[in-house]
Chains A and B, each alone.
Chain A
Amino acid sequence: MQGGAAGSAYRGRTASIGFAHGPLVRVDAGAGGERVAGTLVEEALALRKAIDLASGQIADLAASAGGEAAQILEFQVALLEDEDLIEAIFASIGEGRPADVAWRSTLDEQIAEYNSAADEYLQARSSDLADLRDRVVHILRGDEGEPLKIPSGGVVCADDLPPSRFLEIDWSGGGGLALLHGSPTSHVAMLARARGIPMVVQLGAIPNAGATALLDGEGATLELDPSAEQVRIFEKRRESHRKSRASARAILRRPTASWRGEHIKLLINIQRVDDLDDADAQYADGIGLMRTEFLLVGQSHLPDEETQFQAYDTVLRWAGARPVTIRTFDAGGDKPVPGFTFDGEANPFLGVRGLRLCLARPEIFAVQLRALARAAVRGNLKVMFPMVTSADELEAGRKLFAGIVQRLQADGIAAMLPELGIMVEVPAAALAVSSFKASFFSIGSNDLAQYVLACDRSNGALAPLMDPLHPAVLELIARTAEHGRRAGIGVSLCGDMAGDPRCLPALLNCGLRELSVNASALAQIKQTIDRLSSGGGVG
C-alpha cells in the first residue's frame, strides 16, 4: 500500500477503534540536554528533589484525569516509592555517577528486563517505566517540556507515547494517535480506548513529511496528504461506522437475539483466556468454542495438568452458569507442535491431526483429559473432539476419558465426565451424523468447506472457488441441523461463516439456531439477525 509522496497510506495494528481527520502533529522524544554534575551529596539531593517533584506532578495529573488514568499513573507513583529500585540508584550515585546517569541506567536495566519478557503485557509495562524515566531526567536537566499543543482534531504521530504525555494532550477536540511502534495492550492504548480516541500502532517507518492525516482505527490505516477522493471515501467509512456502531451497541445489550420468533443463541469463540477481556464478551450466551492450542505454542514443553486446569477453570468461572465448550487439542494440519505432531506427512490436512493425533499420543491426551475432568465439576463444561471421521473414534475418546475420571475419583479427586460432542468438519461425519452418539455437534465450517470443495483454504489462487455458500456445503450444514432437530441434540456452527453477515440468512435457513463468533463480531451479528428478523437485508 505504500506509495509516493502524495496520498500515501500505511497499515499498522488497531489499538483503539475510531476515525480522525486532521493536521499531522509529530511528537519527538525530548532532545537530551547536558547537565553539569555536582558533588556526591548534591547529586543525591538533586535526585531526591526530582523524585519528589515527579511524584507531585504525576499525582496532579492523576487527580485531574481521574478514573482509569489515575489507576494507571498510580503504578508510576508506586515505582517512585519502590525502595529496592530507588536505593540501587542512590548506591550508584554513591559510586560517583551523576544523578541523571545513575537514574537512567537503572531504569534502562529494568526496562530491558521487562522488554526481554516473552509476553506482551510486561513489554507494554516498559513504556510506563520509560515515561517515568524521561520525566525525572527532564526535571534533572531542567528542560521540562511545555505541555504539547495539539491543534483540534490533530493526528499525533510518535514512535511511542507514554501515558503521562497522552494525558497532557487536550483531546476535547477529538484527534487520533498514530504510533510507529507501540502495542495494543499498552496503558496508553487502554487510555485511548477509554476516551474513544482512535489509535493505530506498529505503523513502521513513515517519511518525515505530510501535513494532513486520515487515521482509521478500524482498518488500522494512516493516509498522509490524501486526495479529495481519499477524503471522500474516508468520511463515508467514518459515517457508516458511526451509524452501525451506535445501533449495534444498543442491540448488543438486549437479552437474546431472535429470528422469526425463535431464540438464536450467540456464543463466542476464544483462542486464549485473555480474549475474555473484550468488553463485548459479557453479552455472549456462553463460549461456543474455546481453542486449547494456545497452551501448546510458544512453550518449551507441553503444558502440565495444573497449567491446563487453571486455564479451563478461569474460563468456567468467568462464564458462571453459561455453557463453555472446550475443544481438545487440534494440532496437526497447519498447526504443527514439536514433540506432539508427526513430521514429514505428505498431506498434513489429510493426516494425523485433531482427535486422530490425540488418540495416537494417549500419554499427552491423558494430561488434557485429566485437567478437563477436574474442571468439569467447576462449571457448565462441555468437551468436543475435533477432526472426527468415524463413530469409533468418538467412542475411543470417551473410553479414555471415562477411565481417567474413574481413576481420579478413586484417588478422591473431584472429577466428572462432561458432556461429549464432536466437531462436524469431515464430510464423512456430516453425511453419517446420525451414527455418532454425541451430546452435541459443532460445525467447523472452515475445514468442512475446505474438505467438501477440495480447496486448500490458504491457497489464494483458489479463493473464487472457496465459497462457503456453495450448495454442497449448505446441504451438509442443513442435514446436520436437521438431524439435531429431530434427535433433540444441540447443533451450533463455530467457523468464520457464523461471523460473516452475508452468510447469516443461509445459516438461519439451514435451521441453525446457535452460532459462535469472535467477541468482536458479536454486536454486528446480533444486529444483522435483528435486521433479518424485521425483514431487512444483511446491511
Chain B
Amino acid sequence: MLDKADGQIFTGNVRLVHAVGMHARPAVKLTKLAKKFQAQISVRVAGAPEWINAKSVAKIVAMRAAHGSTIEIKASGSDAEAAVAALVDLVASDFPDGAG
C-alpha cells in the first residue's frame, strides 16, 4: 500500500437529502462523527466562499445548508480519506439514528 503523504487533501461531494436541510439534529450527528477523526475537516455548501470547521456545531447550523444542496467536504491529516468517506456516507444515508 502506498504511503499517503501528510498534507494530502481528500475531498468529497454529497447531496443533502435530509428533508429539512442541515437542522440542529443532523448538525449534531455530523460534528460528532467528524470529531472521531484526527483529520482537519472542513465543509461548505457548494460554491460558498468560506470553508467551515466540520467539528463546530454552531457554525454548521449557521451554514444553513438547504435540502437538496450539495455539501463539499475536504480533509487533511492521517485519517483524512476515511473521514471524508464516513461523512459522505452519513449525509448520503440521511443521518440514520445511531450514526455519528
Contact = CB atoms under 8 A, between A and B. Distances in A.
B53 interface: yes
Interface in A89-147: 110, 113-114, 117, 119, 121-122, 125, 128-129
B28 A121 contact: no
- Judged by DSSP, the binding face of A is helix
A318 B19 contact: yes
B67 A314 contact: yes
B40 interface: no
Contacts of A277: 19-20
B66 A310 contact: yes
B8 to A, nearest CB: 24
Contacts of A84: 53, 55-56, 58-59
B57 interface: yes
B61 interface: yes
B68 to A, nearest CB: 3
A85 B53 CA distance: 11
A72 interface: yes
Interface stretch (A35-43, A74-82, A397-405, A462-470): A74-82
B25 A273 contact: no
B51 to A, nearest CB: 13
A410 B69 CA distance: 26
Interface string A305-347: 0000111011000100000000000000000000000000000
A310 B67 contact: yes
B99 interface: no
Nearest to A110: B58
Nearest to A317: B17
Contacts of B35: 81
Given A78-B31, A78-B32, A310 B68 contact: yes
Given A310-B69, A314-B67, A314-B68, A121 B23 contact: yes
Contacts of A75: 24-25, 27-28, 57, 61
Nearest to A80: B57
A78 B24 CA distance: 10
A128 B20 contact: no
Contacts of A78: 27-28, 31-32, 57
Contacts of A262: none
A314 B25 CA distance: 19
B62 interface: yes
Given A78-B57, A83-B55, A128 B24 contact: yes
Contacts of B36: none
Give the 3 A-B residue pairs with the shortest CB-CB distance, closest first: A310-B68, A84-B56, A75-B24
22 contacts: A74-B28, A75-B27, A75-B57, A78-B27, A78-B28, A78-B31, A78-B32, A79-B57, A81-B35, A82-B55, A82-B57, A82-B59, A84-B53, A110-B58, A114-B61, A117-B62, A121-B23, A122-B64, A128-B24, A309-B68, A310-B66, A311-B68
Interface of B: 19-20, 23-25, 27-28, 31-32, 35, 53, 55-59, 61-62, 64, 66-69
Given A71-B25, A82-B58, A125-B61, 5 more contacts: A74-B25, A85-B56, A273-B67, A274-B20, A310-B69
Interface of A: 71-72, 74-75, 78-79, 81-85, 110, 113-114, 117, 119, 121-122, 125, 128-129, 187, 273-274, 276-277, 309-311, 313-314, 318
